Structure 1
Amino acid sequence: MACGGFMPAPVCLIENDENEKLRVRKEAKYILDGIKEPVIVVSVVGLYRTGKSYLMNRLAGQQSGFALGSTIESKTKGIWMWCVPHPYKNGHTLVLLDTEGLGDVKKGDEKHDTWIFCLAVLLSSTLVYNSLGVIDNMALEKLHYITELTENIRVKAEVSRDEDQSADFMRVFPSFVWAVRDFTLELKMGNKPITSDDYLESALTLKPGSSAQTEQYNLPRRCLRHFFAVRKCFVFPRPASTENMRRMEELKENDLDSEFLEQANTFCHYIYDKADPKTVSGGRTITGTALGNLAEVYVEAIRSGKVPCLENAVVSLAKIQNVRAVEQALESYINEMLSMAQLPMDPEDLSNIHTVAEKKAIEVFITMSFNDNDQIYQKELMGKIFDEYQQMCQQNQEQSIRECEAVLLNVFDKLEKGISDGSYLKPGGYRQYRDMFRHMAEEYRARTQSQIMSEEVLSKFLKAKEEIGNMILQADESLSAAEHETEVQRLRNEILEQRQRGLEEQNRLQEQAFQDMQRTHKEHVDQIFRQMEREQERMRRDNERVLEAKLREKEALLLIGIEQQVFSMQRQIDRLQSEIHKEEESKPSKFNRILNGIGITAAMILPGFVPKAVGCGLSAISKLFK
C-alpha cells in the first residue's frame, strides 16, 4: 500500500502463533512500512459481542470489512488493522484497530485479554471502549484491565518507589472514548437534562472514605481519571430489531434506527476531528513505518516475558528508525540527483539540483527519524550526502574533461600532424606554429566555453607542448637572439597565464562548494528546528492537557473532601508546573547544542571536499598528452 493509499479490506496485525504467543503479521507490517506520513490510530476494545466492529466499519466509511458476526462467539481474533486515507486531514492516514473481544468464556485466557488491551492502549492515539447497557459499577468492574495497566506497562525504565507516575502515563496514553451501546435510559440527573459526557463523569465520581469496599469501588474510576486526560462518552440506542441485528452487514441505512444513525455520525465526526496523530514520549509524531516497528518492539517484549516499557521502546524504535531514515534519505537524494543531473553541466546548475535533492532527502530523514537528540544520524546523513555530491562533482568534472579532450584533439589535429611531419622545423616555422596554436586555442575556447574544465584542459595541453614549442623555437634560424629570448619569455608567460585561467576556474568551483556548504548547513538546521518546534508544540499541548486534567481532578477531590488525596494531587501539579518551566528554560541550550553539532560536522566535511573532487579531475588531466 502506497503512502495514503487505500486498503480494500482489513488485515490481521497481531495474532497468536502456533505456540499461542503473540506475533506481528508480516503482511500488516509491510503495509505499515509503506505509510511514510503521520498516522492517527483509533483502537476499539470491549467485551465480545458488543458491536465493536460495526463502529470501526463506519469510521472506515464502509458497510462491511471488520467481521461482525451474529453468534455468541467472538469473531475477531487478535488485533485487526484497516488503514484508510484520513477524511479530514490531508497527509495523514487513519489506522483503525479492531481488537479481539474481551472475556470470551470459550477462550478463557485472562492474561491474553490483558495483553490485547495493553497493546491497544500502547498503539493508539484514541481508545474507544465499547460496552452494552449503562455505565454502572458492574460495567466499571468489567473494565478491570484499566486497573492493571500500571502492572503491565511502564513509562520509564527506572522509577523510584514513591514517585507518582500518573502524569507520565497521562502524557503518553490515548484519549478515551466510552461508547455505550443499546442505551435505553434518559440522560437526566434529577429533573435536569445532562450530556453523555456529564453522564460519564458522574459515573466516575469517587466516594470518600478509606475502607476496602470504598477502595475497590474507587480503583477503576481513579485509574480512568488518572490515566486519561481526555474523556468522551457517546450513548447509542439499539440500532435495529433483534432479528435485523443478526444481519447488520446487509442492512441499509434506512433499515437502521434514525437516532442510532445520528449518534453514529456524530461519533465518526468527533473521531475524525478530534483524534490526534499517534505520538510517543517527547511529543514525537510517528509514521506508519514507526507504528509497525513499535508494534514489533512491544510484542517482542511480551513474548519474552517482559513488561512493555515506553522509554525502552523509544530507544529501540530510534535505532530501527534512524538507520532506515539515513538509508532512505540517501536513496532519495541519489535518485533525485540521477534523474535531474545531465552531466556535464554548469556547477551552479548542479548545485541547484543538489540543493533541491538534499532538501527532499532531509525531509525524508526528518519524517522517518526518531529521537535523534544529538543529531548523530543526521550528521551521518550530512556526511554521506556530501560524499555522494562530491562524487557527482567529480564525475561532472571528469565528463567535462573527456568532452574537452575530444574537442581539443579534433581542433589541434592539424597542429599535431604538422609537428609529426616536421612542418614547423624550418626558418619562420616557429611563428607559423605560434599563430596556428593561437588560432586553434581560440577555436577550442569557442567550442568549449560552456565546459567547466575547458581552461584547465588547455593549460595542461599548453604545458605538455612547452618542450615541443621550445624545440621549434630553437630550430628557427630566422629569429635574432633578442627575438629568440623574447619568444622564450612570451611562451613562459602564456603558460603561466593559462595556468592562472585554470586556477580561476578551480576557484569558482571552490567558491561554489563553500556556498553549497552554507546552504546545506542552513537547510539541516532549519529542518531540525521546524521538527523541534512541532515536537515542542505537541509537548506543550500534552503538558497543558495533563495540567488541566490534574487541576480538574483536584477540584473534584475538594468537592468530596478527600484532603489527603488533594494534598497529593497538589504535589503532582507543582511537579508538573516545574517540569514545564524547566522545559521552556532548556530551549536556548538545545538550540545552541544542535547549531554547534551541525556546524562542527560541516567544518569536518568541507576541508576535504573541493581538493578531493578537483584533485581527482586534475590527476586524470595530467595523464593527457604524455
Structure 2
Amino acid sequence: MASNTHMPDPVCLIENTKEQLVVNPEALKILSAINQPLVVVAIVGLYRTGKSYLMNKLAGKKKGFSLGSTVQSHTKGIWMWCVPHPEKPNHTLVLLDTEGLGDVEKGDNQNDSWIFALAILLSSTFVYNSMGTINQQAMDQLHYVTELTDKIRAKSSRDANEVEDSTNFVSFFPDFVWTLRDFSLDLEADGQAISADEYMENSLKLKKGTSQKDKDFNLPRLCIRKFFPKKKCFVFDRPTHRKKLGQLETLHDDELDSEFVQQAKVFCSYIFNSSKVKTLPGGINVNGPRLENLVLTYVNAISSGDLPCMENAVLALAQIENSAAVEKAIAHYDQQMGQKLQLPTETLQELLDLHRDSEKEAIEVFMKSSFKDVDHLFQKELAAQLEKKQDEFSKQNMKASSDRCSALLKDIFDPLEKDIKQGIYSKPGGYHLFIQKMRELKKKYHQEPGKGLQSEEILQTYLASMEAVTDTILQTDQTLTEKEKEIEEQRVKAETSEAAKKMLEEMQKKNQQMMEQKEKSHQEHVKQLTEKIEKERAQVMAEQERALTLKLQEQARLLQEGFHQESAQLRKEIENLQNNMNRRKICVLS
C-alpha cells in the first residue's frame, strides 16, 4: 500500500552519466507502487551550498542525501526520497535533490540546464539554494531560468517564430522558493525592517535602460517574475563554525547556531503546510505511476534530442491511463454482474436492469480514472465493450434458459414418450387420454420456476416435434368420427398459431426493450461526460483566473516601475488569455 511506502534512504532517480541522462528502474519501481497524491519538492543550486542538508531536514532525518564535506560535488543527477507527508494524511512527500550546478569537473554545463529544467517539470515546489545575498552574481548563476523557453515547450504545436506565452508556463510551473544560505546582512531597506520576501521582491526589480548590460540584468528577473506563480524567500545564518560544517550530519541542534535552527524549522513548516500536490493542467493530481511516466517521457525526449513538451507528456500519460481506465471499468462491470446476476433471469428486463446499474458504475469508474480523452476515443471504446458485454450476457442468459428448459422437458415428458412407444395411446379413446396427459405435463412444466426467457420457445419447439405423433394417435383412434378428427386438427392448428403469434409479440417486445436500453446507455454516457467536462472546464477556468490575476499584478508592478514596453508586451498576453477565457464561456453558453 502507498501509505506503507518505506524508503530508509534516497535512491538515484535520474543518473547523469558523461554521455546522457539515464532513468534508474529501481526508483521507477518505487514510484509505481505509490497511489497517493504526491507533493514534490526539488532543490537546485550551485554545488557545495548545503542543498542536501535542507532536504534531509524535510525528510526528518540527519542522514540521507549525501552532504559531502569536500569541494567535490557529491550528488550526480537527481536523487529521490519518498516519505510519508508529515502534515497531509494519505499524501507522500517526494524530495528531489539535484547535483550541484556549475561543477568545474563536468566542463560542460549542458547537463546542468537539463537537470534544472527537469527539476522544474517534476516538482510542485522548486527550491533554489544559493550562498550569501541576492546580488548580480547570484542572478548570473540563475541564468538557467532564462534558458527554460529553449529547453521546455508547453504546447506541441507552435509556429517556429512564435514566442512561448508565459501563460503556458505559469499553468504548470511550480512554486518558487529562494533559500539564501550564510546570509549576513540585516534585512532593512531605507532604514526600515523588511521581510525576506520583500528583500527578494526588491532584488527582482528591473533596471531602466536599453543597453545589453541592462537587458542582461533584467532578463533573469523578468523570467522569475513571469514564470513562477508563487514566490517565497528564506534567509539562513551560517549553521555553525566553518570548521564544523563537515560534521553537520552528526551535530545536534544545540550544537548549531540557534538562529539557524529556528530558520530551518520555519522553512520546513512552510514546505510542509504550503507546498501543493503536483498537478497537471486541468487540476489532475499526480501520483507515483503518473510521476514515473512523466520522468520517462521527459528523459526519453531529452535523450532523443527533442525538447520535453508538457502537452505531449500529458497526452502520452493520458493514453496509458485511459487505456487502463477502460480495463478497470470493464473489470468493475464484470465483478458487479458476476455478483448479482443469476442465470437464467425470468425476464429480459431483469437482465437489462442489472446491466444498466453495473454499466453506470463502470462509467463512473472510467470517468474518475481517465483524463484528456481526446475526441472521447477511450469512452467510445468503453461503450463498445459494454455493449458487447451486454450481448454476451444476453446470449449466456438465452443458453442457460434453453439448457434449463430442455433438461426440464426431458425430465417431464420422457415417461410420456415411453408410454407412446409402448402403444399405451394406440387404442380406442387413446387420443383423449393423450391430450389430457399432455395438458397435465404442460401445466407441470409451466409451474416449474427458473426457466428464463426461452421457456415458451423451447416448449413450442418440443410440441412441434410431437405433431406427427399427435396426428398418428388422432387418426388411429377409432372412437372418433371423421368430423371430430377434423375439428380436433383445426383446434391444434389454432393453438399452434396462437402460440406463434404470442412468440412474435414477445420477440418484438424484447427488441423494443433492447433499443430502449441502447438509448439509456447512450444517455448515461452523455450525462456523465457532460458532468466531467463541466468540472474540468471549471478547473481550467480557475487556473486561467489565477494566471490572469498574477499577470495583472505583474503588469501593475511594471507600470509602477516605469517599464512601459515590458508592460505592453504583458498586456498582449493578458488580452490573449482573456480572449481564450471568453471563448470558453461562449462555448459553454452555446
TM over 0.5: yes
The bucket for the TM-score relative to the shorter chain is 0.7 to 0.9
Q: Relative to structure 2, which stretch is displaced further, 83-92 or 146-155?
A: 83-92
Letter in 1 for 2:484: E
- Corresponding residue SS for 1:207: coil
Letter in 2 for 1:200: M
* Alignment pair present for 1:388 and 2:407: no
**Partner of 1:174 in structure 2?**
174
1:166–1:503 distance in 2 versus 1, CA, 3 Å: same
**Partner of 1:601 in structure 2?**
none
- Corresponding residue SS for 1:14: strand
Per-residue CA deviations over 1:230-253 (Å, capped at 9, x if unaligned) read 212233445566677545555666
1:376, 1:106 → 2: CA distance? 50
* Alignment pair present for 1:308 and 2:308: yes
Give the unaligned 5+ runs of structure 2. none
1:357–1:492 distance in 2 versus 1, CA, 3 Å: same
1:239–1:407 distance in 2 versus 1, CA, 3 Å: farther
1:489, 1:259 → 2: CA distance? 110
Contact 2:13 2:79 in 1 (8 A): yes
Residues 39-438 of structure 1: matches in 2 within 5 Å?
Answer: 39-60=38-59, 64-84=63-83, 93-156=92-155, 157-159=157-159, 161=161, 163=163, 165-239=165-239, 246=246, 248-249=248-249, 260=260, 263-281=263-281, 284-338=284-338, 341-345=341-345, 350-351=351-352, 353-355=354-356, 357-438=358-439
Q: CA deviation at 1:298?
A: 1.6
Q: Relative to structure 2, which stretch is displaced further, 381-390 or 423-432?
A: 423-432
**Partner of 2:21 in structure 1?**
22
Per-residue CA deviations over 1:482-531 (Å, capped at 9, x if unaligned) read 43334323323433444455556656654554454344334323432343
1:466–1:557 distance in 2 versus 1, CA, 3 Å: same
Q: Relative to structure 2, which stretch is displaced further, 8-17 or 298-307?
A: 8-17
Per-residue CA deviations over 1:206-226 (Å, capped at 9, x if unaligned) read 111122222222111111011
1:344, 1:60 → 2: CA distance? 58
1:138–1:518 distance in 2 versus 1, CA, 3 Å: same
Q: Relative to structure 2, which stretch is displaced further, 74-83 or 267-276?
A: 267-276
1:533–1:455 distance in 2 versus 1, CA, 3 Å: same
Q: CA deviation at 1:99?
A: 2.2
- Corresponding residue SS for 1:397: helix
Contact 2:344 2:451 in 1 (8 A): no
Letter in 1 for 2:128: Y
1:469–1:183 distance in 2 versus 1, CA, 3 Å: farther
Per-residue CA deviations over 1:350-373 (Å, capped at 9, x if unaligned) read 545544543454344335544223
Contact 2:404 2:451 in 1 (8 A): no
* Alignment pair present for 1:562 and 2:567: no
- Corresponding residue SS for 1:536: helix
Contact 1:404 1:448 in 2 (8 A): no
Q: CA deviation at 1:166?
A: 1.9
Contact 2:7 2:82 in 1 (8 A): no
1:246, 1:274 → 2: CA distance? 31
**Partner of 2:583 in structure 1?**
582
Give the unaligned 5+ runs of structure 1. 590-626
* Alignment pair present for 1:540 and 2:563: no
1:319–1:463 distance in 2 versus 1, CA, 3 Å: same
1:154, 1:487 → 2: CA distance? 87
Contact 2:37 2:285 in 1 (8 A): yes
1:40–1:534 distance in 2 versus 1, CA, 3 Å: farther
Residues 404-553 of structure 1: matches in 2 within 5 Å?
Answer: 404-449=405-450, 451-499=452-500, 502=503, 506=507, 509-510=510-511, 513-514=514-515, 516-553=517-554
1:441, 1:394 → 2: CA distance? 26
* Alignment pair present for 1:12 and 2:15: no
1:416, 1:84 → 2: CA distance? 77
**Partner of 1:612 in structure 2?**
none
1:47–1:492 distance in 2 versus 1, CA, 3 Å: farther
Letter in 1 for 2:463: L
2:241, 2:471 → 1: CA distance? 109
For normalisation by structure 2, the TM-score amounts to 0.88
Give the share of equivalent positions with the same residue, in percent.
Answer: 45
Q: Relative to structure 2, which stretch is displaced further, 248-257 or 573-582?
A: 248-257
1:162–1:413 distance in 2 versus 1, CA, 3 Å: closer
Letter in 1 for 2:306: K
- Corresponding residue SS for 2:566: helix
1:519, 1:227 → 2: CA distance? 47
1:468, 1:254 → 2: CA distance? 107
Contact 1:7 1:82 in 2 (8 A): no
Q: CA deviation at 1:204?
A: 0.8
Contact 2:23 2:299 in 1 (8 A): yes
**Partner of 1:598 in structure 2?**
none
1:508, 1:32 → 2: CA distance? 53
**Partner of 1:595 in structure 2?**
none
Q: CA deviation at 1:187?
A: 3.3
Aligned length: 587
- Corresponding residue SS for 2:13: strand
1:87, 1:404 → 2: CA distance? 64
1:310, 1:581 → 2: CA distance? 24
1:393–1:167 distance in 2 versus 1, CA, 3 Å: same
1:39–1:415 distance in 2 versus 1, CA, 3 Å: farther
Contact 2:165 2:573 in 1 (8 A): no
1:218, 1:27 → 2: CA distance? 42
Letter in 2 for 1:77: K
2:35, 2:503 → 1: CA distance? 47
Per-residue CA deviations over 1:46-84 (Å, capped at 9, x if unaligned) read 223333334444445556544444444333322233445
**Partner of 1:614 in structure 2?**
none
**Partner of 1:618 in structure 2?**
none
Letter in 2 for 1:586: C
Q: Relative to structure 2, which stretch is displaced further, 446-455 or 411-420?
A: 446-455
1:505, 1:274 → 2: CA distance? 65
Contact 1:285 1:535 in 2 (8 A): no
Letter in 2 for 1:168: N
Contact 2:52 2:66 in 1 (8 A): yes
Letter in 2 for 1:558: L
2:30, 2:318 → 1: CA distance? 20
For normalisation by structure 1, the TM-score amounts to 0.83
**Partner of 1:605 in structure 2?**
none
- Corresponding residue SS for 1:172: coil
Contact 2:34 2:288 in 1 (8 A): yes
